[in-house]
Structure 1
Amino acid sequence: MADHQKTDRGPNERFIGVKGGRLKLNTPALLLDLDALERNIAAMAAHARKAGINLRPHSKGAKSIEIARRQVAAGAIGICCATLGEAEALASGGIENILITSPVVTPPMIDRLMTLNLASSGLMVVADNPANVDALAAASASAGRRLALVVEFDVGQGRTGTVSVEAAAALVHRIKDSAHLRYAGVQAYYGHLQHIPTHAERKAAATVQMIRVRELLDHLKAEGLVPDIVTGGGTGTFDIDPDGGVYTEVQPGSYPFMDREYLEIAMTSGGSSPFAAALLVQTSVVSANREGLAIVNAGYKSFATEGGPPVVVSPKLAGASYRLMGDEHGGVGYDPQSSKLKIGDTVEFLTPHCDPTINLYDRYHCVRGDTLVDIWPVDARGR
């Protein structure tokens, strides 16, 4: 059991260790199936070892010190964070070798980054702009400790990143020319490819981008700028990324949990997945006055729904569907000839998109079977 005795565990703490406590929870509650979580973490770690590639899982979804600890214990070389705030939260729990995967550019945030760099071993941050590199160099000079930078290379996402081989190489030279910065490597992350439904199409799209990464690496090698790390990839391309021969490490994020978006795609060439759903949202029926329709206490504030509606997983209901009915309410439609929901009944859902759904909650309610065994904070929620 994790050491969270000093953390406010909320109103469900009294159900920890109580047989059947899972069905007694105050709702809505974010559930984490520890058996599935542990299998998922072990499966990805074993895959990375077999593929001969380093694993630096992304914590933009988990936002959890405890989950990061478990990933590192399973063999991860470090952790990725999308934001400075996430990195601060995880570093406060002793997590080291953190890579911040988005640029840190404003003066107050750069000040915080310098403080974190003094306190956190192995910290790295991406950069994609010469002015930002200059600002980080000046701040590092004042702080008295070199900062490790990873140059981001855009591989089709059209978000952050240098947009050409030449621009990326020029930025590497700029970093190398500074006495106050360390050139650590290259990031090439194709998040927009992770949910392509068929494995063959996803592999083809990823291969195109890995060819571009190879062009960059060949250019850097010719200029004597071989990167120590090349990082990228994700859960949807977990078995594709190592085959390209360009990445030294991968940064999948959703695999500990899985969600509807990932469980609906062909994760492997055979269609099967080594990862199972570990994250659920438990709700309660608060009204059941209409035949074939029950109202649960979870709406816009309980699910991130840009990926579509959540899926009813328990109880088993014929023809089950969910629709949003306000901030606090959702409607569960079902075939009334097969079953009937009544007020107080528990309904559990598979999340449509795990990352932003987790950010809606303060706590994970960790279960094994029907028993609540622990409650973990979502340490970096809102950060």
Structure 2
Amino acid sequence: MTRIDDPAYSWPLLTLDDDALEHNLATVAAAVAAAGAEHAPHVKTAMSRDLFARQLAAGAWGGTVATPAQLRTLVRWGLPRERDGVRALLANELVDPRELAWLREVLDAGAAAEVWLYVDSARGVELLARAFAGASAATTARLGVLVELGVPGGRTGVRGVEAAVALGRAVHDAGLRLVGVAGYEGPVAAGTSEAELAAVGAWCAGLREAAAGVAGLVEGPVVLSAGGSAFADVVLRELVAPAGAATRVVLRSGAYVTHDHGHYARTDPWTRLGAAPLRPAITVWGQVLSVPEPGLVVCGVGRRDVSYDIDLPTPLAVRPVGEDGRLGTPRELAGARVTALNDQHAYLAVTEDQGIEPGDVVAFGVSHPCTTLDRWRTAVVTRGDAVVAHYPLDLREDLA
């Protein structure tokens, strides 16, 4: 049995707890299904073919990506939800003629079952219409266009319902297949207070209004797509039932698959829906390099290994290392905290009686999984200390 403390591995090391992954996959799949929605999880969280395959097996409609390079990778993976091929949602505008030409080739060849993408400007519609001019009915049916509704002062997306409806009409008039409306509610609120959740609900009401405004331009149910990983509960409550039977709600939450010990632990929307709490799956292990003064431990984990854009890592436990290199029994690090990071060092403030020595190994939890996983090329999947799999993390398509 291979273990994380075998000679093949060295510190720092990123591991994913397999039991936590399975729990999170099953919990969220059940919650989305119970709400009457569909799920296209954002795979940028890990860009892992193996994790995406497990999400599809749990019932996901397809996968969401943020960039053209990620879309190319998703198509390259070739993982179908069913026999008809991959389904992908590009939660952004595609305005590069080179990428549009590539997408036309992909859909002409039937290399993807469906690709949905956003528009938020007349120029975006013009570029898309030009790229797909003269396309066959089969190709046109594989391309879905969503009008993006934004937030004043936020990032992309039209500003207001009236503009969204007008742009939807332009999509339809250009001969493109309009499937609905979409957006990202994250810029509306920074936390989960009652007032902030109400603000997210108000934004969802605007998305419903935009969907009603374009309904006559869409064949079949109108798609409403939203849902970062912090406000999925509000999105499901506000979009599914009030929108009615003639709509499809497609949630895009992706960080749930690994969860974390910081940002998503605080904002976890699934428990607000009544689901079981998600479990943090990510651990980054780092060895104690020095205990240079009382109360200070320096570990070999840094900004190149863990996220720090929202919170610094959370020290979870310390484990002694035997003469044979094997890890000993973990001890909780009560009161310990990371105070700073260098590229390859973490400054750990501890009480003086922790008994930590150079060579010990510290387990760290993270806050914001996306910006931890994008620092690694492989995740080691574990049950306890046993290694059960290696998941490559494809950050972008291989250009070689």
Judge same fold: TM > 0.5, yes or no: yes
Cα gap change, 1:269 to 1:132, in 2 (>3 Å): closer
Check if 1:322 corresponds to 2:332.
Answer: no
Amino acid at match of 1:41: L
**SS class of match (2:267):** coil
Instruction: Figure out how many residues of one structure are paired with residues of the other and give that number.
Output: 364
Greater shift, 366-375 or 267-276, is seen at: 267-276
**SS class of match (2:45):** coil
**SS class of match (2:132):** helix
Deviation at 1:282, TM superposition (A): 1.4
Aligned ranges for residues 77-92 of structure 1 at < 5 Å? 77-92=61-76
Deviation at 1:366, TM superposition (A): 0.5
Amino acid at match of 2:265: L
Deviation at 1:143, TM superposition (A): 6.6
Kept in 1: contact 2:307–2:371 (CA 8 A): yes
Deviation at 1:346, TM superposition (A): 1.3
Amino acid at match of 1:262: Y
RMSD: 2.5
Greater shift, 139-148 or 238-247, is seen at: 139-148
Please list the CA deviations of residues 39-74 of structure 1 after superposition, one character each: whole Å capped at 9, or x if unmatched.
001000001111111111111212111111111111
Kept in 2: contact 1:28–1:302 (CA 8 A): yes
Greater shift, 188-197 or 290-299, is seen at: 188-197
Please list the CA deviations of residues 214-257 of structure 1 after superposition, one character each: whole Å capped at 9, or x if unmatched.
22223224677876311101322222222213461211111111
**SS class of match (2:102):** helix
Kept in 1: contact 2:14–2:380 (CA 8 A): yes
Check if 1:134 corresponds to 2:126.
Answer: yes
Kept in 1: contact 2:302–2:343 (CA 8 A): yes
Cα gap change, 1:328 to 1:20, in 2 (>3 Å): closer
Q: Structure 1: give runs of 5+ residues left out of the alignment.
A: 1-16
1:9: which partner in 2?
Answer: none
- Of 119, 124, 129, the residue aligned with 2:116 is 124
Cα gap change, 1:216 to 1:301, in 2 (>3 Å): same
Deviation at 1:271, TM superposition (A): 9.3
Cα distance in 1 for partners of 2:279, 2:231 equals: 16
1:12: which partner in 2?
Answer: none
Deviation at 1:275, TM superposition (A): 0.9
Please list the CA deviations of residues 163-209 of structure 1 after superposition, one character each: whole Å capped at 9, or x if unmatched.
12222122212221223x211221122123575144x3443122111
- Of 382, 387, 395, the residue aligned with 1:367 is 382
1:331: which partner in 2?
Answer: 347
2:161: which partner in 1?
Answer: 165
1:102: which partner in 2?
Answer: 92
Cα distance in 2 for partners of 1:29, 1:240 equals: 36
Cα distance in 2 for partners of 1:325, 1:307 equals: 13
Deviation at 1:311, TM superposition (A): 0.4
1:341: which partner in 2?
Answer: 356
**SS class of match (1:347):** strand
Kept in 2: contact 1:194–1:236 (CA 8 A): no
Amino acid at match of 1:368: R
Cα distance in 1 for partners of 2:350, 2:397 equals: 35
2:258: which partner in 1?
Answer: 257
Aligned ranges for residues 94-243 of structure 1 at < 5 Å? 94-95=78-79, 96-118=86-108, 119-141=111-133, 145-146=139-140, 147-155=143-151, 158-179=154-175, 181-193=176-188, 196-198=191-193, 200-221=194-215, 228-243=222-237
Deviation at 1:270, TM superposition (A): 8.9
Kept in 1: contact 2:180–2:214 (CA 8 A): no
Amino acid at match of 1:264: R
Cα gap change, 1:334 to 1:210, in 2 (>3 Å): same
Kept in 2: contact 1:186–1:227 (CA 8 A): no
Cα gap change, 1:142 to 1:29, in 2 (>3 Å): farther
Cα gap change, 1:149 to 1:308, in 2 (>3 Å): same
**SS class of match (1:123):** strand
Cα gap change, 1:287 to 1:115, in 2 (>3 Å): farther
| TM-score normalized by the length of structure 1 | 0.87
Greater shift, 65-74 or 140-149, is seen at: 140-149
Cα gap change, 1:273 to 1:324, in 2 (>3 Å): farther
Aligned-pair identity in percent equals: 29
2:15: which partner in 1?
Answer: 31
